[in-house]
Structure 1
């Protein structure tokens, strides 16, 4: 039970969207998990994140709304796309779910602007697999019309990918920034480069924050995280920098299985803090 303190207003418990009213930030749960390559209960994560948000302070006076969860987005992807498209907000933050959540979130925000849109992923993996799984969202967005020259993938772990997918990324014209490169650069610098590349078409940018880009010690609820990933504060920094950019219209937080988290809920709490960092970023626009 959390202490009640009138001098410390809590985050979370934001109202649902109403009518045509505009919001600064809209949350939506995208509980994808049915097509995951690893057994997962990632569909439990959106509500776990909402609960974790109550542990932290309200960070701004921006208008924040929470549209609730999309029902069965794996089975009804067109409806999930429409649910995102209907949100009237400066920034949409989608709470996954596995990485399959990226497709409906990005397409819902891009609308007819796919050919000018940009994509930034912070992820250990290329997500260029065949089929429709949590390992294929980048390939599917490319097939939907996204130009590879406006895709930037940050934090790729070479040992967690095959040469075939590295070649796919290269052939598509994707800019890849590996974990080795991140050792000598700040996240602010990397995100600045990524935003410039992704925004070159003048269209909307979607940012996929796949939490398994982080070191496994800080993200035990990510089935595919590996030792040697980025730190929690680097992921939080990426969320804030991305959200501060006016061309970024959506962010997703994915690949967390709340049911597999450690006893201290460290992964879910990190996701909640990334939501708050994104809100703080929008306040800087």
Structure 2
């Protein structure tokens, strides 16, 4: 008999079929379905598949008495009640490493699009506006890039920057052992040094509004911000005000406070590029994430150690 798995995130047909081969799926990608299925089938559920944004609460864990395995499909797990789950001896895993290249690619795409004003120039070209009527835009090459959060994704962003002859510095809570990149002991100091700032740090209470008005002011009117981590890391009101006033040159965002609802203060701005939290999504990345989940789950239910524990 296959274990019962509660799936709290949307799965494409091929991913659903792969997971269904090993589990009896209870599919609840909407809040209403989630509440209903936990109420009606909570006693049978042994595993949960979620992600960092969707999470799993302590109250929900209490309603799942046989729960023994929880997986975040991607790397993030900020809205999973990790400590509470550990107190119940529930095994926790994530998809660390499965979509790093995809996220780093997207971060650089946002940076290029924001600095070179690709979205607005696409629109202008379609409207018949030719180049002499458009303001000049700066190079990306030869500049300074600050990476906030030099984890696996941050390192991949820095590697891509090297191909553009960009000098990279970073800020973490402490210097990363073995890294030859320049370390800054504060986000403000990093922003003051940088032309571009890419956010690749985890979300959660510890990084809430880490990028605030002081950081944006330090980055300055010629600076550009890219966020592919979590919307909560950036003070949205401060960002909107800086972009509106021109005290920040531009931005590229894939994540937002309150998503999937887009902050309306950003919608009308022309110096920002917006994408709908897709940085980690590609056929390759999703396939790798699902396969990682399945391997971890199979190992757990076989009594073996998981590969990517939280």
TM-score band (shorter)?
A: 0.3 to 0.5
Larger Rg: 2
User: TM-score, length-normalised on structure 1?
Assistant: 0.35
User: TM-score, length-normalised on structure 2?
Assistant: 0.32
Which protein, 1 or 2, shows the higher relative CO under an 8 Å CA cutoff with sep ≥ 6? 1
